[in-house]
């Protein structure tokens, strides 16, 4: 787990965009298994999940539809029951038919978490400020997901203002300065 | 010699200054010679009388407007293939000058057309293409200006310039085709009067004057763009500290 | 196989969104009809003049309708971040463009084709002329959508807004307009409209091959 | 030299208005462009040095 910290504007988001391949670095390159990610961008994209601070969900669609569409566009096709399980897990079980716009900020954030629950087969998670707008229980839940992802051999790159609350053995903290 | 060296804005900055110095005087010189030929050496035209002297600026200005738009697309293609900042800046520096030559070509076209055809404007292929070209220049400039981040603006503008440059010949030929359809006013600039050698020379000298002028003013403008770029970088570093 | 499934999901998403947001669907459609019906008020509505200017008026209304709808084509997806997620899909980005542009054409260009014959009757066009006009619109409206999509992609993240899209895109529409209207005019004056159809198709093929790259590049610049 | 007098030069065979307007607008617009760019560059460079 790479835990990126830094002041506003230090370049945390930019770093994550470079790692996820949205942005090309001015110099240097990002390697995955020794290969530049831009050489086989499509392969790289099917092994990583990038969630930035924007919601990337549509107001007009229901919670379940949003989850299904986000996943299928990223190449994951699952049964509705499994998606419903994921919603239950993040505490949105009652809301699956509600339009996305009726959710609170924290609930919207939880929907992004539900995506990760289903997405756990992807080794690399890249999360930009995942704890924003979450309540204590939500933060705790998300930390749990990340820990079990790490324990299962996955990788997480994230940015946050919070102090890391993970087992030290797999944690690396990167502090960005000017 | 390593040409790549000059592709960095910082290195190019002083070079642009000296290119400016060495093109400004020639442009004035060619302008004076060109004016002398257009008014004193070139003979009066039998059909058009003295009004034809407008072509000494109209035709070179029209050439410049087309060449500059193509040069912009060229620099933008270079910019994307070599990833050089300076090429995009070059294109941005060229745009206003190109737009001004397009404007001049249009105005002088109208001033020529009025006594010759009795109309300020005819929808012939060349004038129409010039008009569309002016719209394209305006579109490019407006697009680049709509971005606060000039680096992104230049790149987005570059895409537009490359796509739209293909459009210019298409428009030119489609207007020709369109006019044959209407069989209307068949007067056009193509039927130039028997061109005396002196007339061609006059236009060429004027062309040289416009060329050197454009290079001079573009070099000046690119210096401003480079300074602005530096300021922008400073500003960005400044705000991120706070 | 997976690529196809993703594209199908994307296609479904786009359709779903447009049908949830029906106002967008109706705006373009009625905008086209209203603009078309305004033109006769601007000229003397005589039975000689209207058939002559009819094809041009219908085409210009189509251009304006396309400009209005394309100005917001990518904007909402860009603003809520879902455009970025879509471009992170493990498929080539030009395929994404094809799907999005196709749905955009289906919901803003195709409806125009349905009402165009009725509007042509308002202008007193003859049956064969309407046929020629329809063929030109079938080839031309996808071009309008493609070029409009480029305009929309270029202005993402800038301060330009819808007016800028119009300034960028309308000059690029001119060849489409000339050959679209030209096909009907040449037919009316006894010349085969084939040339115009061929030129329009050639431009369409060219645009289909190259514009998606330009659109994808613009979107990538906007996402940086 | 085919101009017999200054007046004949100025009248351009009756087309004086069109000819002089064309040349006038051309060189006026180029001069304005040049001065605008020149001034802005000088201002930039002065603020830059200070």
pLDDT value for B15: 86
Question: If interface means Cβ-Cβ distance under 8 Å, which residues of chain C face chain B?
Answer: 150, 154-155, 157-160, 164, 167-168, 170-172, 174-175, 178-179, 182, 185-186, 189, 191, 195, 199, 203, 211, 214, 217-218, 221-222, 224
pLDDT at residue A10 greater than cutoff 50: yes
Domain extent for A15: 2-176
pLDDT value for C101: 95
Contact A75 C89 (CB under 8 A): yes
Instruction: Give the span between the Cα atoms of D34 and D28, in whole angstroms.
Output: 10
- Contact of C88 with chain A, judged by CB distance below 8 Å, is answered with yes
pLDDT at residue B185 greater than cutoff 50: no
> How far from C83 is each of A60, A112, B91, C162, CA to CA, in Å?
15, 16, 29, 19
Instruction: Give the span between the Cα atoms of D18 and A166, in whole angstroms.
Output: 82
CA-nearest residue of chain D to B223? D41
Query: Out of C5, C20, C220, whose CB is closest to A60?
Result: C20
> Could you report the per-residue pLDDT of B135-150, keeping only the tens digit for each?
999 999 999 999 988 8
pLDDT at residue B186 greater than cutoff 50: no
pLDDT value for C153: 94
pLDDT value for A38: 83
In this prediction, residues D2-9 reach a mean pLDDT of: 75
SS3 at position A36: strand
> How far from C66 is each of C25, C27, C210, CA to CA, in Å?
12, 11, 20
Among positive and negative, which fits the CA dihedral C199, C200, C205, C206? positive
H or E stretch covering B182 = helix B150-182
Round the average pLDDT of chain B to a whole number and report it: 84
Q: What percent of chain A has pLDDT over 70?
A: 98
Could you tell me where the beta strands, DSSP code E, fall in chain A?
Answer: 2-6, 31-32, 35-36, 48-51, 124-128, 155-159, 172-176
Instruction: Give the span between the Cα atoms of A67 and A65, in whole angstroms.
Output: 5
Most confident range (mean pLDDT) of B19-23, C59-63, D39-43 is C59-63
- Contact of A50 with chain C, judged by CB distance below 8 Å, is answered with yes
Query: In which band, very low, low, confident or very high, does the pLDDT at B7 lie, cut at 50, 70 and 90?
Result: low
pLDDT value for B96: 95
pLDDT value for D49: 59
Query: In which band, very low, low, confident or very high, does the pLDDT at B5 lie, cut at 50, 70 and 90?
Result: low
Domain extent for B88: 26-41+49-185+198-241
Residue window 23-42, chain B: list those with CB within 8 Å of chain A.
Answer: none
Report the CATH number that the domain containing residue A87 is assigned in CATH.
3.40.50.300
Tokens 């300034």, located at residue: C167
Is the separation of the CB atoms in B12 and B225 below 8 Å?
A: no
Is the separation of the CB atoms in B55 and B203 below 8 Å?
A: yes
pLDDT at residue D48 greater than cutoff 70: no
Contact C158 B139 (CB under 8 A): no
Between these two residues, D49 and A118, which has the higher pLDDT value?
A118
Look at residues C105, C118, C124 and name the one whose alpha carbon lies nearest to residue C66.
Answer: C105
A69, with CB counted inside 10 A (0-12, 13-18, 19+), is buried
Instruction: Give the span between the Cα atoms of C40 and C160, in whole angstroms.
Output: 33
Would you say residue B222 lies in a domain?
A: yes
Round the average pLDDT of chain A to a whole number and report it: 83
Quote the number of domains for chain B: 1
Tokens 């062309």, located at residue: B207
pLDDT at residue B235 greater than cutoff 80: no
Contact C203 B142 (CB under 8 A): no
> Is there contact between D and C if contact means ≥3 C-beta pairs under 8 Å?
no
Query: In which band, very low, low, confident or very high, does the pLDDT at A27 lie, cut at 50, 70 and 90?
Result: confident
CA-nearest residue of chain A to C21? A60
Query: In which band, very low, low, confident or very high, does the pLDDT at B184 lie, cut at 50, 70 and 90?
Result: very low
> How far from A35 is each of A8, A20, A39, A156, CA to CA, in Å?
31, 14, 7, 19
pLDDT value for B238: 60
> Could you report the per-residue pLDDT of B200-232, keeping only the tens digit for each?
888 899 999 999 999 999 999 999 898 888 887
Query: In which band, very low, low, confident or very high, does the pLDDT at B46 lie, cut at 50, 70 and 90?
Result: low
Would you say residue B151 lies in a domain?
A: yes
Contact B159 C191 (CB under 8 A): no
- Contact of C15 with chain A, judged by CB distance below 8 Å, is answered with no
Q: Indicate the range of B29-38, C139-148, D12-21 predicted with least confidence.
A: D12-21
Would you say residue B62 lies in a domain?
A: yes
Quote the number of domains for chain A: 1
Strands A35-36 and A31-32: antiparallel
pLDDT value for B191: 47
- Size of the A and C interface in Cβ pairs below 8 Å: 69
Between these two residues, A92 and C109, which has the higher pLDDT value?
C109
Q: A167: distance to nearest CA of chain C, Å?
A: 30
Query: In which band, very low, low, confident or very high, does the pLDDT at B237 lie, cut at 50, 70 and 90?
Result: low
Would you say residue B19 lies in a domain?
A: no
pLDDT at residue B80 greater than cutoff 70: yes
pLDDT value for A135: 85
In this prediction, residues B180-206 reach a mean pLDDT of: 64
In this prediction, residues B183-210 reach a mean pLDDT of: 68
Instruction: Give the span between the Cα atoms of B146 and C158, in whole angstroms.
Output: 5
H or E stretch covering B128 = helix B125-145
Per-residue pLDDT of chain C (224 residues; tens, 9 = 90+): 788 999 999 999 999 888 888 887 888 899 999 999 888 888 887 888 888 888 999 999 999 999 988 888 898 899 888 899 899 888 999 999 999 999 999 999 999 999 999 999 888 888 999 999 999 999 999 999 999 999 999 999 888 777 899 999 999 999 999 999 989 988 888 888 888 899 999 999 999 999 999 999 999 999 88
């Amino acid at each position: 787990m790479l835990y990126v910290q830094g002041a506003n504007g230090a370049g945390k988001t930019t770093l994550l965009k470079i790692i996820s391949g949205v942005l090309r670095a001015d110099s240097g390159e990002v390697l995955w298994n020794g290969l530049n990610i831009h050489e086989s961008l499509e392969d790289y994209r099917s092994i990583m999940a990038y969630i930035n601070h924007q919601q990337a969900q549509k107001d007009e669609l229901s919670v379940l539809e949003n989850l299904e569409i986000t996943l299928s566009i990223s190449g994951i096709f699952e049964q509705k029951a499994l998606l419903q399980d994921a919603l239950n897990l993040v505490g949105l079980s009652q809301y699956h038919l509600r339009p996305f716009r009726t959710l609170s900020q924290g609930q919207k954030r939880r929907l992004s978490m539900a995506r990760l629950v289903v997405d756990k087969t992807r080794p690399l998670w890249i999360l930009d400020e995942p704890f924003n707008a979450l309540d204590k229980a939500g933060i705790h839940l998300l930390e749990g997901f990340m820990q079990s992802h790490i324990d299962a051999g996955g990788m997480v790159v994230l940015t946050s203002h919070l102090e890391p609350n993970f087992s030290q053995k797999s944690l690396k903290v990167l502090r960005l300065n000017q | 010699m390593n040409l790549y060296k000059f592709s960095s804005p910082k290195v190019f900055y002083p070079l642009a200054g000296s290119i400016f110095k060495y093109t400004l005087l020639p442009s004035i010189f060619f302008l004076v010679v060109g004016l002398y030929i257009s008014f004193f050496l070139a003979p009066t035209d039998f059909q058009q009388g003295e009004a034809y002297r407008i072509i000494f600026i109209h035709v070179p200005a029209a050439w410049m407007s087309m060449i500059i738009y193509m040069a912009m697309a060229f620099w933008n293609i270079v910019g994307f293939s070599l990833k050089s900042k300076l090429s995009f800046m070059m294109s941005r520096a060229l745009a206003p000058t190109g737009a001004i030559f397009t404007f001049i070509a249009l105005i002088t076209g109208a001033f020529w057309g009025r006594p010759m055809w009795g109309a300020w404007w005819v929808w012939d292929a060349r004038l129409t293409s010039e008009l569309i070209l002016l719209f394209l220049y305006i579109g490019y400039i407006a697009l680049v200006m709509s971005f606060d981040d000039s680096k992104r603006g230049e790149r987005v503008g570059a895409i537009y310039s490359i796509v739209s440059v293909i459009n210019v010949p298409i428009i030119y030929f489609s207007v020709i085709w369109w006019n044959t359809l209407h069989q209307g006013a068949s007067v056009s600039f193509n039927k130039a009067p028997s061109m005396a050698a002196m007339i061609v020379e006059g236009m060429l000298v004027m062309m040289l004057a416009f060329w050197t002028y454009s290079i001079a003013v573009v070099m000046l403008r690119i210096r401003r763009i480079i300074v602005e770029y530096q300021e922008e970088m400073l500003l960005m570093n400044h705000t991120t500290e706070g | 196989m997976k690529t196809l499934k993703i594209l199908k999901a994307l296609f479904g998403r786009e359709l779903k969104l447009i049908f949830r947001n029906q106002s967008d669907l109706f705006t373009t459609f009625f905008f086209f009809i209203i603009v078309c019906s305004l033109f006769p008020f601007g000229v003397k509505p005589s039975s000689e003049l209207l058939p002559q200017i009819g094809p041009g008026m219908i085409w210009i209304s189509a251009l304006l309708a396309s400009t209005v709808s394309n100005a917001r084509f990518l904007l909402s997806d860009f603003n809520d971040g879902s455009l970025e997620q879509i471009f992170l899909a493990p498929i080539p980005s030009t395929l994404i463009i094809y799907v999005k542009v196709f749905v955009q054409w289906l919901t803003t260009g195709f409806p125009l084709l349905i009402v165009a014959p009725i509007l042509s009757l308002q202008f007193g066009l003859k049956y064969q002329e309407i046929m020629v006009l329809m063929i030109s619109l079938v080839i031309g409206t996808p071009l309008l959508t493609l070029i409009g999509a480029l305009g929309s992609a270029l202005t993402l993240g800038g301060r330009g807004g819808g007016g800028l899209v119009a300034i960028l895109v309308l000059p690029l529409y001119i060849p489409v307009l000339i050959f679209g209207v030209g096909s009907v005019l040449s037919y009316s004056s006894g010349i085969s409209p084939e040339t115009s159809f061929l030129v329009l198709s050639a431009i369409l093929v060219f645009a289909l091959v190259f514009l998606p790259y330009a659109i994808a590049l613009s979107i990538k610049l906007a996402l940086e | 030299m085919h101009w017999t007098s200054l007046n004949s030069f100025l009248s351009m065979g009756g087309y004086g208005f069109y000819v002089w307007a064309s040349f006038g607008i051309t060189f006026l617009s180029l001069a304005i462009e040049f001065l605008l760019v020149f001034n802005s560059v000088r201002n930039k460079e002065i603020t830059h040095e200070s």
